[in-house]
Amino acid sequence: MRLPKTVTPLHYDLLVHPNLTSLDFHGTVEIQLEVLQDTSAVILHSKGLRISKAALLESERIHPLRVLHLPAFEQVALLSDDIALTEGEQYAVRLEFSANLSDSFHGFYKSTYRSRDGEVRVLASTHFEPTHTRTAFPCFDEPAFKANFTIRVRREARHIALSNMPKVKTVVLASGLLEDHFDVSVKMSTYLVAFIVSDFLSVSKTSQHGVKISVYAVPEKIDQAEFALNAAVKLLDFYDDYFGIPYPLPKQDLAAIPDFQSGAMENWGLTTYREAGLLFNPEKSSASDKLGITKVIAHELAHQWFGNLVTMEWWNDLWLNEGFAKFMEFVSVGITYPELQVEDHFLEKCFEAMEVDALSSSHPVSTPVEDPAEIREMFDDVSYDKGACILNMLRDFLTPEAFKIGIIRYLRRHSYQNTVNTNLWESLTNTCESDELDEGRLRGDGFCSGRKPHSATSKWYMEDDLDVRAMMDTWTLQEGFPTITVEVRGREVRLSQERYLKGEDPSQTSGFLWQVPLTYITSHSSTVHRFLLKAKTDVLYLPEEVDWIKFNVDMSGYYIVHSEAGGWDALIALLRHNHTALSSNDRASLINNVFQLVSIGKVPLSKALDLSLYLSRETEIMPVMQGLGELVPLYKLMEKRDMEEVENQMKGYIVHLFRGLIDRQSWSDDGSLSQRMLRSTLLLFACVRGYQPCVQTAGELFRKWRESDGNMSLPSDVSLAVYAVGARTPEGWDFLLEKYRHSLYSSMKRQIKVALSITPLTDKLQWILEQSLEGGVLKTQDLPNVLIQVSRNPKAYRLGWDFLRANWNRLVKKFDLGSPSLAQMVTGVTNKYSTREMLEEVQLFFGSLTRETGAGLRCIQQALESIEENIRWMDKHLPQLKAWLDRQGPLGQSSRPTGA
């Protein structure tokens, strides 16, 4: 399905004219080509386009071309009997084309919004990544075919047009239409091209480096653009300085699109976002909104270098774009907005990646892909989150200074080009040996000149030189991650590694070997010690005997640790007596690791639950969230079975564990960002679990808010808990829906939407699912989230599954085969099933699909594997869980569960 390398595009001259009344568009494209091998045909991409004319332009002559369509390959061949294209020569082809605006979320598509007075307004916007540029104009739609673009857009006077580059001029046509001419772009891949025709308004500022930054939104919401504008200015300046490579365009626009499937898109110079990912209101938006918006802007702006300036050669190395942008989100926001405490949230990305990476259906970070559905499947937790986590591990290993030098070298060496994995490893090797592109910088920051040849921090790999590529190939070219088993005998520490894998098939764990950069602290030394484990087993020696040893300090490594021979007992005792002896990340990683080890039979469940007891004294966000993240799924598995007694015992235990912390939460927006996010989570959890003090306060606040007709200002961090309690009655639910319809604030809408989806009222849940699919009251972009929320609802998990089955073909058409949205729906709806009946039902339905409707999608394998794992877990551990809860005595009797 790949294009031949016989010709390459140099320049596109594109004219596009969308009609927002008839909802179609037409255009012409003239492509300058260089011939790399003699050929009689030009083959390029086109999907769903009506090509009315095709011609070859050669000096003064115009030769008509025949167009041969290859729909299965999404390609066209341009042919002529009497022309041969000669190697080394340049030609141009001109094509005229037309199509309907797409009613999905990709290609050149239609989006709508409702104005204040109820009028539905239409705009047209693009989303081309990964393979949808070909649906907007014929092109060489592969990332390695970089070219320059000159774009012209026709529009009515009541609209504006935006594209990657600034507008140079506007021409008035005889028809009264206007034609905007945009400057020639830098050399870039087709998936980064963008254009929008809309009635948006904007606010602008100029960065310290002289770049004009503007935020665009629908007129009613432009007053919510200020926060994003300031963040974009600050972050673009940060990257400019950090990379030492000036942002290459004169402007950077950020546009909030009313209908948008993913979070955002990094089109060069015109980044596009969901409204919720860009618009912020200080009164209505919560702490997590502020963090989320800052991170998504940081992510898209990082792409202007990683992805746009330097682009992966092919989609198998998508992680070079996405893993880097995800990693740089945390680096940049940590430095520019320290008050957002972004470092408190990095770990959860690694845990999310491990969740998927622990299944045999996982894939290496760098994986061969061919067709568009396989390419779309690469946009997953492995490419983004695992990519970011292994980069973080490498940065910790090389030191942040050496890592920074290496990535700047990578960007400089490969600007405007395409790269593969190896190019990155080469740039990160011997970072203190200068090359001509480093321009003497390396000595300048004092890191290389001041470095001792074998200091403890810079070299932690004994005497042999580090081979970055050999080490990192073990993390990018094989799937999964290792369990490191540690056994301490006196001063001797025995180490061994094996693949961590859920499931029963031992053949899938053999043959895996990683080069693991181990870190550890001990009861006698808080200095971080380092050891590179390259073999299946190894031994290290401590200077003295210790009471405890904690490997994987702050969980900066992408592996989990099993402490044998009393190791866990020593760590559990430490948490019980003095949990602050370990950092909050270390505590969160112990909680995660011990429960993961239960799943593969290395640790008994009772030991993991014993460790969880210390949480009654925990106050930091990461360990509390991780504790909830390990314990809540246990009763979620029970809710889909008939076992109310043990289910309520489990719920009671969790409420009891966090009760002190819940009682200390104020119903306000006070505190640091992490404290505010923790409050939001805890109060929602307590109210949904029916913890009476919480339900009473939330119920009282809801009553007052409703009596004020929604005009009373609720603290934004607690409003979700208030709405959730309010949505339990039909009257409360209807009132919330009415407020949802008329709200202009994405944050408020998001919170109300969650509350509407976790109500116990099943008729309302059925209605909200149908509405989300129709895209009337709720936008279809929100359907994946609504469906997953409804499926988590113990009153409605069947509803979610039945809805997914009944509407599968419509969902595939709207969200695209292989897309992250479709994958989230499949796994989100099914991932807490734990009975053989449900497994058979899921197998039966997905087994009936054809290749065109999704047979063989990776998310289906993941869903089935997760259900099988849940069944195994319940069969094996349920009696132990019950016995352990019985030993704890009557807990949390004050919480009578209601709702979700």
- Cα–Cα dist 168/863, whole Å: 51
Nearest to 408 by CA among 444, 381, 379: 444
pLDDT at residue 435, rounded to an integer: 63
Place of tokens 């959730």: 724
Q: What is the pLDDT of residues 328-381, one digit of tens each?
A: 999 999 999 999 999 989 999 999 999 999 999 999 999 999 989 999 999 999
Residue 436 has what pLDDT? 60
Nearest to 750 by CA among 341, 406, 276, 387: 276
> Within the chain, what is the greatest distance between any pair of CA atoms?
92
Cis peptide before 482 (omega within 30 of 0): no
Report the alpha-carbon distance of residue 620 to residue 343 in Å, rounded.
13
pTM score of the predicted model = 0.94
Active site residues: 300
Predicted pLDDT at 242: 95
Torsion of CA 740, 746, 748, 750, to 10 degrees: 80
User: So what's the pLDDT on residue 585?
Assistant: 95
If you compute the radius of gyration of the chain from its CA atoms, what whole number of angstroms results? 28
pLDDT for the residue numbered 432: 76
- Can you give the pLDDT at residue 448? 64
Q: CB neighbours of 471 closer than 8 A, spacing ≥ 6?
A: 515, 517, 532
Strand ranges of the sheet holding 537-541, from the earlier edge strand across to the other edge = 537-541, 492-499, 482-489, 560-563
Nearest CA-CA partner of 163 in 249, 277, 47: 249
Query: Using CB atoms within 10 A of its CB, is residue 631 exposed (0-12), middle (13-18) or buried (19+)?
Result: buried
299 is in an annotated binding site: yes
Question: Which residue do the tokens 């929602």 mark?
Answer: 684
pLDDT at residue 610, rounded to an integer: 96
How many angstroms separate the Cα of 759 from the Cα of each of 691, 736, 752, 755?
Answer: 16, 12, 11, 7
Q: Which residues contact 480 (CB under 8 A, 6 or more apart)?
A: 357, 358, 362, 499, 500, 501, 512
The secondary structure of 499-526 as a DSSP string is E---SS-GGGTTT----EEEEEEETTEE
Tell me which amino acid residue 578 is: N
d(CA 720, CA 714): 10
Burial tier of 721 (Cβ tally within 10 Å: 0-12, 13-18, 19+): buried
What is the spatial distance between Cα 830 and Cα 846, in angstroms, rounded to a whole number? 12
Q: What is the pLDDT of residue 443?
A: 45
Tokens of 77: 């061949």
The SS3 call for residue 828 is helix
322 appears as a binding residue in the annotation:
yes
What pLDDT score was predicted for residue 776? 83
pLDDT score recorded for residue 459: 39
Phi, psi (deg, nearest 5) at residue 324: -65, -45
Closest CA to 45 of 142, 121, 123, 112: 142
Other Cβ atoms within 10 Å of 253 Cβ, number: 25
CB 585 within 8 A of CB 592: no
pLDDT of residue 593: 97
Measured between alpha carbons, how far is 483 from 141 in angstroms, rounded to an integer? Answer: 41
> What SS3 state is found at 881?
helix
Contact yes or no for 162/195 (Cβ under 8 A): yes
> Tell me, what amino acid is at 348?
E
Question: What does the angle CA 268 – CA 332 – CA 363 come to, to the nearest 5 degrees?
Answer: 75
Whether 323 and 386 have beta carbons less than 8 Å apart is answered as yes
Which of 283, 279, 278, 251 has the alpha carbon at shortest distance from 267?
251
Strand order in the sheet with 41-45: 41-45, 75-79, 66-70
159, 198 in Cβ contact below 8 A?
A: yes
- 401 labeled binding residue: no
Q: Look up residue 691 and give its two tokens.
A: 């913890």
CB count, 10 Å around CB of 595? 22
Residue ranges of the chain with per-residue pLDDT less than 50: 440, 443-444, 451-464, 892-900
